[in-house]
Amino acid sequence: AEREILAAITMVSDFRPARHQLVELRARQGRIGDAIAAAEDLLREGAGVNPLFLNRVAELYLQAGRGEAGLARFRTAVQAGHWIFGVALARLQIGSGDAAGAARTAAAVLDQDPLDEPAMAVLFRALPADQRAAATEGRIDRALQINRRAVMFLNWKAILIEDRGDRD
């Protein structure tokens, strides 16, 4: 498979699907450092900037024991205003044991996009149960004002109501 992927890349150097496949193949082979290097090439070119891929790259950094390098990389991107890196940064922070930092990062992403479900999922996960309602309810209500049919936000609202003892 690698030979064919590399042949495709040789024929069309900016063939993104093949380059994404190369990252995944190398990760499956256990060549995590090589997978990260291939992913970083895509990110430098702006070709890998989608939330699913960014989350995969964050996982690779953690898997390789290079969480600090991933944190630095993603933090720099967020500080430069590239909020799409925010959820992946927050996931790296959780994976590195910094739940409070993850909560701050997820909240900052939600400030930019109140309907960002992955950011709210990270915020919900990062907060201790006794802090969850205070930190999320206003954000959930704001999202529901924007889109009353935002199913995941309705679910989170229901969880908060249930946590207050109202099971109905």
For 77-126, the pLDDT digits (tens) are 999 989 999 999 999 999 999 999 999 999 999 999 999 999 999 999 99
CB 120 within 8 Å of CB 152: yes
CB 58 within 8 Å of CB 74: yes
pTM: predicted TM-score of the whole model, two decimal places: 0.85
| Per-residue confidence (pLDDT) for residue 2, from 0 to 100 | 85
| Per-residue confidence (pLDDT) for residue 51, from 0 to 100 | 87
| Per-residue confidence (pLDDT) for residue 133, from 0 to 100 | 92
Residues of the chain with pLDDT under 70: 47-48
Q: How far apart are CA 102 and CA 121, in angstroms?
A: 11
For the record, the structure tokens of 43 come out as 């990110």
| Per-residue confidence (pLDDT) for residue 45, from 0 to 100 | 79
| Per-residue confidence (pLDDT) for residue 47, from 0 to 100 | 59
Q: How far apart are CA 43 and CA 140, in angstroms?
A: 31
How many CB atoms neighbour CB 71 within 10 A? 20
CB 70 within 8 Å of CB 37: no
Tell me the percentage of the chain whose pLDDT exceeds 70.
99
